[in-house]
């Protein structure tokens, strides 16, 4: 599914808990939260608001904590 990045909720260096919202996508007038699969530290954010993304794109890189 293609979507547009609506909001980036984290930045590099930030510690997050499992299920924390990392990015919010918008597709077909719906907001789709992308959540952390596990607790960790954000090492890289690869998207910005208004970016177009597709299925399988890496949006945020987490290092396990």
Query: Where do the domains of the chain lie?
Result: 3-64
The residue among 52 and 65 whose pLDDT is bigger is 52
Nearest-angstrom CA–CA distance, 31 and 59: 16
Instruction: Give the chain's mean pLDDT.
Output: 97
Q: Which of left, alpha, beta for 59 (phi over 0: left; psi -120 to 50: alpha)?
A: alpha
pLDDT tens digits for 24-52? 999 999 999 999 999 999 999 999 999 99
Closest listed residue to residue 33, CA positions, set 11, 9, 52? 9
The CATH number of the structural domain formed by 3-64 is 2.40.50.100
């Amino acid at each position: 599914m293609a979507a547009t990045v609506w909001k980036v909720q984290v930045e590099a260096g930030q510690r997050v808990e499992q299920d924390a919202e990392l990015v919010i996508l918008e597709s077909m007038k719906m907001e789709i939260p992308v959540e952390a699969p596990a607790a960790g530290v954000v090492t890289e954010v690869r998207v910005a608001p208004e970016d177009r993304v597709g299925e399988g794109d890496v949006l945020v890189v987490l290092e396990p904590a």
